[in-house]
Amino acid sequence: MSMDKRLVADLIPSFAGLADAELEALAGILELRSVRKRQLVVCEGQVCRDMVYVRKGLLRQFYFKNGREITEHFTCEGNFAYCIESIFKNEPSRLVMEALENSDLCLIPYAALVELSHTYRGISDWLRHYLENNLILHQVKADSWRFESARERYERFLREFPTVANRASVNDMASYLLMTPESLSRVRTAVSSASGKKGR
C-alpha cells in the first residue's frame, strides 16, 4: 500500500533529510507488512526483491549446511535486511529470512528504489551511502570471524547487538558466532564472571 509522504520519514528516520518530492516518490513504492513469529519473509529459492526495514521486531537470515541451520545475520529495529547476492543479481536466494518475533516491516522494492535514484539526487546519495556503510560492516564482520577469538567475537556481538543477545536463541547466536552452543555457554559464563568482578 502507498502512504502519505509525511509518514515516510517517521517510519524510516534515515530518510528525514530528503526533500518533499523525494519522500513523496518513496511513499509511492514503500509497503508496510506485519509478520508473525517464525513467519518467512524470504524463502530459500525465492528471489529477494525488497530491502526490508525493521520498524519493530527481529529478523534472522540463515542457510542450511549438512542439515543444520547456520545463522548469517540478525536485523533488529532501525536496520535493513536483504539477501545481497539475490537482490543485486535478481537470482534465487540461498538464504532464508525469518521473523524471530512478531515484527512490523517496511518493504522497499530495490529495483524501484534504483529507478528513483536516477531521478532524485537525495535518494541517489542515500542509497550510495547506505551501500558503502553496509559493505564496511560486512568487511568488519568477516575480519572478526577470521581474526578474533571466540570470546572477542561474543564481546563484539554484545556491543553491536546488545538487545539481540537477550532475544535470540543460544543455538542461533552460536551458529552466527561460529561456535557450538556449549562453547558459547562457556564464553558467556566467562564474560559474565569477568563483568561481575569488575563491578565489585
pLDDT tens profile 57-94: 999 999 998 889 999 999 999 999 999 999 999 999 99
List domains and CATH numbers for the chain: 5-119 (2.60.120.10)
In degrees, rounded to 5, the angle at the alpha carbon of residue 189 between the alpha carbons of residues 188 and 192 is 80
Q: Nearest-CA neighbor of 47 among 80, 82, 87?
A: 87
Summarize the confidence of residues 2-19 as an average pLDDT: 85
For residue 115, which of 22, 13, 9 has the smallest C-alpha distance? 22
Highest mean pLDDT among 72-76, 140-144, 187-191, 194-198: 72-76
Burial 136-157, CB ≥16 within 10 A → b, else e: eeeeebeebeeeeebeebbeeb
8 A C-beta contact, residue 52 and residue 59: yes
- 22-61 pLDDT, tens digit per residue, is 999 999 999 999 999 999 999 999 999 999 999 999 999 9
CA dist 127 to 2, 21, 68, 133, Å?
20, 16, 34, 10
CA gap 33, 106 in Å, rounded: 6
pLDDT of residue 36: 98
d(CA 161, CA 163): 6
pLDDT at 199 over 90: no
If you compute the radius of gyration of the chain from its CA atoms, what whole number of angstroms results? Answer: 18
The dihedral region occupied by 133, where left means phi > 0, alpha psi between -120 and 50, and beta the remainder, is: alpha
128-146 mean pLDDT: 89
Report the pLDDT averaged over residues 108-124.
97
Question: What does the alpha-carbon distance between residue 163 and residue 150 come to, in Å, rounded to a whole number?
Answer: 19
CB pairs under 8 A, 24+ apart, for 117-123? 119/25, 120/18, 120/19, 120/21, 120/22, 120/25, 122/17, 122/18, 122/19, 122/22, 123/18, 123/22, 123/25, 123/26
